Structure 1
Amino acid sequence: MTDLRPDVQPARDSADPTVERLREAVEAGFPRTVADLTRLVRIPSVSWAAFDPAHVAASADAVAELVRDLGVFDLVDVRRAPIGEGDGAALGQPAVVARRAARNGRPTVLLYAHHDVQPPGRDEDWDSAPFEPTLRGDRLYGRGAADDKAGVMAHVAAIRALIDVVGEDLDLGIALFIEGEEEFGSRSFAAFLRENRDLLEADAIVVADSNNWDVDTPALTVALRGNVTFRLTVSTLDHASHSGMFGGAVPDAMLAAVRLLDSLWDADGAVAVEGLRSADLATPDYPEAQLRAETGLLDGVEPVGRGSILSRIWAQPSITVTGIDAPSVANASNTLLPSVSVRLSARIAPGQDAGEALAALQAHLRERAPFGAHLAIDDVDTGQPFLVDTSGWAVAEARAAMAEAWGREPVDIGVGGSIPFISELVEEFPAAQILVTGVEDPDSRAHSPNESLHLGVFRRAVLTEAALLARLQARSSA
Structure 2
Amino acid sequence: MTSSAHTREHAIELAAQHYRSGAFLDILGRRVAQRTESQNPECAAALHDYLRDELQPVLQALGFTCRLLDNPLAGKPPLLLAERIEGASLPTLLSYGHGDVTSGQDDLWQDGTAPWQVSVKDGRIYGRGTADNKGQHSINLAALEAVLQARAGKLGFNLKMLFEMSEEVGSPGLEEACREHAQALAADLFLASDGPRVRHDLPTLFLGSRGVCQFRLVLDTGNGSRHSGNWGGIITNPAIVLSHALSSLVSANGQLLLDFLKPAPMSEAVAKLVRELPVGGESFDPQLDPNWGEPGLSTGEKLFGCNTLEVVGLSAGSTVKVIGAIPGRAEMVCQLRFVPGTDWQNLAGHLRAHFDRLGLQDVQVQVEGGYAATRLDPSHPWVGFVSRSVGASLGQPVSILPNLGGTIPNHCFADVLGLPTVWLPHSYPSCKQHAPDEHLLESIVEQGLRAAAGLFWDLGEPALYPAGMLPARREERLATLQD
- TM superposition score category, shorter chain reference: 0.7 to 0.9
Separation in 2 of the partners of 1:327 and 1:26? 54
Q: CA deviation at 1:213?
A: 3.2
Separation in 2 of the partners of 1:126 and 1:80? 38
Residue 324 of structure 2 is aligned to residue 340 of structure 1: no
Q: CA deviation at 1:204?
A: 0.7
- What's the counterpart of residue 59 of structure 1? 50
User: Which letter does structure 2 place at the counterpart of 1:98?
Assistant: A
Alignment of 1:382-421 (within 5 A): 382-413=370-401, 414-419=403-408, 421=409
Separation in 2 of the partners of 1:302 and 1:426? 33
Residue 295 of structure 2 is aligned to residue 320 of structure 1: no
Q: Normalization by structure 1: what TM-score?
A: 0.86
Give deviations 1:240-285, integer Å, cap 9, x for gaps. Answer: 3222210122122222222222322224321223312234132233
- What's the counterpart of residue 416 of structure 2? 428
Alignment of 1:230-309 (within 5 A): 230-278=215-263, 279-280=265-266, 281-282=270-271, 283-285=274-276, 290-291=280-281, 293=283, 295-297=285-287, 303-305=291-293, 306=295, 307-309=297-299
Alpha-carbon distance change, 359 to 161 in structure 1, aligned in 2, over 3 angstroms: farther
Separation in 2 of the partners of 1:388 and 1:349? 12
CA contact (8 A) 2:179 2:417 kept: no
1:220 to 184, 198, 205: 205
CA contact (8 A) 1:233 1:340 kept: yes
Q: CA deviation at 1:303?
A: 4.8
Q: Normalization by structure 2: what TM-score?
A: 0.85
CA contact (8 A) 1:107 1:475 kept: no
Q: CA deviation at 1:27?
A: 2.1
User: Which letter does structure 2 place at the counterpart of 1:111?
Assistant: S
Residue 16 of structure 2 is aligned to residue 27 of structure 1: yes
User: Which letter does structure 1 place at the counterpart of 2:435?
Assistant: S
- What's the counterpart of residue 450 of structure 1? 437
Q: CA deviation at 1:214?
A: 3.0
Residue 97 of structure 2 is aligned to residue 113 of structure 1: yes
Separation in 2 of the partners of 1:340 and 1:440? 37
Give deviations 1:154-211, integer Å, cap 9, x for gaps. Answer: 2211211111101224442110111111111112011111232233211111121132
What percent of counterpart residues are identical? 22
Give deviations 1:120-144, integer Å, cap 9, x for gaps. Answer: 3463254522222221121101221
Bigger mean CA offset, 45-54 vs 344-353: 45-54
User: Which letter does structure 2 place at the counterpart of 1:474?
Assistant: E
Unmatched 5+ stretches in structure 1: 1-14, 84-89
- What's the counterpart of residue 5 of structure 1? none
- What's the counterpart of residue 12 of structure 1? none
DSSP-derived class of the 1:440 partner? coil
Alignment of 1:121-140 (within 5 A): 121=105, 123-124=107-108, 126-127=110-111, 128-140=113-125
Alpha-carbon distance change, 365 to 154 in structure 1, aligned in 2, over 3 angstroms: farther
- What's the counterpart of residue 460 of structure 2? 473
User: Which letter does structure 2 place at the counterpart of 1:312?
Assistant: K
- What's the counterpart of residue 100 of structure 1? 84
- What's the counterpart of residue 63 of structure 2? 72
- What's the counterpart of residue 428 of structure 2? 441
Separation in 2 of the partners of 1:448 and 1:368? 38
Alpha-carbon distance change, 17 to 354 in structure 1, aligned in 2, over 3 angstroms: farther
CA contact (8 A) 2:62 2:145 kept: no
Q: CA deviation at 1:102?
A: 3.6
1:147 to 128, 132, 154: 132
Separation in 2 of the partners of 1:124 and 1:185? 24
DSSP-derived class of the 2:260 partner? coil
1:18 to 7, 10, 30: 7
2:36 to 41, 45, 66: 45
Give deviations 1:277-323, integer Å, cap 9, x for gaps. Answer: 234132233578x447453229xx76511221122111221112212
- What's the counterpart of residue 3 of structure 1? none
Separation in 2 of the partners of 1:186 and 1:65? 20
CA contact (8 A) 1:170 1:473 kept: yes
Separation in 1 of the partners of 2:317 and 2:34? 33
Give deviations 1:69-114, integer Å, cap 9, x for gaps. Answer: 53311x212323122xxxxxx2322222101224162211111111
- What's the counterpart of residue 201 of structure 1? 186
Alpha-carbon distance change, 104 to 266 in structure 1, aligned in 2, over 3 angstroms: closer
Separation in 1 of the partners of 2:81 and 2:338? 31
Separation in 2 of the partners of 1:267 and 1:382? 25
Q: CA deviation at 1:45?
A: 1.4
DSSP-derived class of the 1:321 partner? strand
DSSP-derived class of the 2:183 partner? helix
DSSP-derived class of the 1:52 partner? helix
Q: CA deviation at 1:36?
A: 1.0
Give deviations 1:23-63, integer Å, cap 9, x for gaps. Answer: 22112222222211121112221212666323322322344
Alpha-carbon distance change, 101 to 366 in structure 1, aligned in 2, over 3 angstroms: farther
Give deviations 1:427-461, integer Å, cap 9, x for gaps. Answer: 3322x321111101233232232221112212222
CA contact (8 A) 1:211 1:221 kept: no
Could you list the structure 1 runs, at least 4 aligned residues long, displaced by more than 6 angstroms after superposition.
Answer: none
Separation in 2 of the partners of 1:121 and 1:194? 35
Unmatched 5+ stretches in structure 2: 464-473, 476-483
User: Which letter does structure 2 place at the counterpart of 1:130?
Assistant: P
User: Which letter does structure 2 place at the counterpart of 1:390?
Assistant: P
